Structure 1
């Protein structure tokens, strides 16, 4: 009911402003009134005046920045140098919830230095973050570029598999992680983590 009262009050104020303050010619008053009534009709058709208000802010829409993920990337990849500077800038934007800008920074970075696997890896992660944790074709392309440039580094396949797993593509994640775990030193922290992840995936796939 409150929604309808507000709608009619706004319509009345708008009509009064147009007729008097706007000095609309008297001959067109009926046309103006008809336009306002059409607006009310449109509100009745498309609106939901009976629903409670639910205001949204920009902070509500942005996904929280994953600090632990960024720290893992820094531990496995480059912390310093030119690539590190680009990644720090992108991370800073990500912490502010500006995921599009964070990805755009790394798009510019890979254009400037297309042979740096750390930049392609960072771009893949940034695109996944911008998509709310879902891996997109562009993110897959970025991960594949990172793996093609440096086939021996564990960072790109690790994060690619992680993105696949988070997107629900468990079988594909297993195909990436299993060979990576096999070539890592036994007892290493990353291999232990991957073996645990693979056990969970096998459990999930076996029970599905």
Structure 2
């Protein structure tokens, strides 16, 4: 728990530094804020604060992929059935730097199971990734469809908000992240990520222009 509090404190301090001291442009600050949120997601889902340190080793070059977003979506989604297999295939394509292939896999899954909210959520994320983290009309439709199919799923609300946050529209992310938080189970391992994300965006008053 101490590690979690430290991680949130560091993220909050970085946000305040960008806002109050450095005063970077609004769009840049909000993009960094979105990155901080996903950094917290990565810590929540795979961090081991008690693990002893080890010397860093040089990693092999790998395609650019938002691993934290994949892990967070997996934590929010179910882990069984044919739909899960399509999502795993799509995640593999994303990790290989092939977002178009990821979209194709998800669409194949939707053709088999058109009422699966997890597949529509995965499609929204893959479409955003294929468009260089831009919210396209097709991605917006996918998120909205996921929310209709499973009104209690926090994923569509969170990732739609994240897309708006990355696009420099935190005022649109704020109510969406609140809805995601309301839908997250009290004992969900990812709930602290949603709490930190909402607290950050709710406190992020833009600096004077």
Same fold (TM > 0.5): yes
CA distance in 2, matches of 1:194, 1:118: 18
CA RMSD across the alignment: 2.4
1:156 aligns with 2:156: yes
Report what 1:50 is aligned to.
none
Report what 1:142 is aligned to.
142
Within-5 A mapping of 1:118-129: 118-129=118-129
Residues 82-122 of structure 1: CA distance to partner in whole angstroms, max 9, x if unpaired? Answer: 01110111111112211111112212221221100010000
Q: Which runs of 5+ in 2 are unaligned?
A: 1-60
Structure with greater Cα Rg: 1
Report what 2:3 is aligned to.
none
Which deviates more from structure 2 when the two are superposed, residues 160-169 or residues 141-150?
160-169
The higher relative CO (CA closer than 8 Å, separation ≥ 6) is in 2
1:186 Cα deviation from its structure 2 partner: 5.6
Report what 2:41 is aligned to.
none
Report what 1:201 is aligned to.
201
Q: Which runs of 5+ in 1 are unaligned?
A: 1-59
1:63 Cα deviation from its structure 2 partner: 6.4
SS state at 1:176 partner = helix
Residues 23-49 of structure 1: CA distance to partner in whole angstroms, max 9, x if unpaired? Answer: xxxxxxxxxxxxxxxxxxxxxxxxxxx
Report what 2:100 is aligned to.
100
CA distance in 1, matches of 2:127, 2:182: 28
Which deviates more from structure 2 when the two are superposed, residues 86-95 or residues 198-207?
198-207
Report what 1:90 is aligned to.
90
- Count of residue pairs brought into register by the alignment: 148
1:169 aligns with 2:169: yes
SS state at 2:205 partner = helix
1:81 Cα deviation from its structure 2 partner: 1.3
Q: Report the structure, 1 or 2, having the larger helix content.
A: 1
Report what 2:33 is aligned to.
none
CA distance in 2, matches of 1:187, 1:81: 24
1:188 Cα deviation from its structure 2 partner: 5.7
Report what 1:71 is aligned to.
71
CA distance in 2, matches of 1:176, 1:207: 22
| Residues 1:80 and 1:198: Cα distance change in structure 2 (over 3 Å) | same
| Residues 1:143 and 1:63: Cα distance change in structure 2 (over 3 Å) | farther
